[in-house]
Amino acid sequence: MSIYDIRTFADTVRGNSYVGRGIVAGMSADGKKAVTAYFIMGRSTNSRNRVFEETEDGIIIHAYDPSKLEDPSLVIYSPVRCIRNNMIVTNGDQTDTVYELMEKYYASGAKDPAMEEFLFEAALNTRCFEPDSPNFTPRISAVLRFGEKGFDYKMSILKSADENGSECSRYAFSYKPLAGLGHFIHTYNHDGNPIPTFTGEPERVAVPDDIDGFTKEIWDSLDENNKVSLYVCCTDLATGRKETRLINRNV
């Protein structure tokens, strides 16, 4: 198999009952749209008791049944927020960490392309993996950046350096988009106890033109017992118009 092979999302997760939370970022096959997707899965009652809701600048997670919510600290957050020409996508409250640093930068009136290039990494350097021993769930993040010359995107994973959570290892990946190619990063390699953290580079997955087809492919490919919610967004690169799809298991 070539390192440049691109598999469908369905083939990438086939037979894997628990990849956890996942982010896909890339470009549609026709080269006309930036595409991102975010999904959550859950094994516990607390993790499964969630729904996505669209907001003015992205999405937020709510408890489906507030009376059953146990610990909100790692399950209730805003996975997607947009500011200026940036779309931030993460699996935790680090969304707000990135957003707030960008907001502060733009409010300052600064115009330093070199500094702006690394706001995403600078914000995430203040965070680490989740404090959920023994899993030490990694924080996965992405930012899609739109400009006059199109867009690019970055991904990041913050994970424990060892089984004891002694230190945090930080990895960042920068991409120039290619038509039909997406990169997929998720929190876990597969199910387990403790759950093994995602390893390696983000996986190369095919991104079609049809948002409905891609949404269905992702949702149908996730394990039936563990999938919870999915959000997919396509941004027209010519007009900036966003088209979104949202699926909640709890309705």
Least confident of 49-58, 105-114, 203-212, 213-222: 105-114
Position of tokens 């939370």?
A: 21
Percent of the chain scoring above 90 in pLDDT = 93
Is the distance from CB of 64 to CB of 49 less than 8 angstroms? yes
Tokens of 173: 């990946």
Q: Is 96 exposed, middle or buried (0-12, 13-18, 19+ CB in 10 A)?
A: middle
**Tens-place pLDDT, residues 102-119:** 999 999 998 888 889 999
pLDDT exceeds cutoff 80 at 65? yes
pLDDT (mean) for 9-25: 98
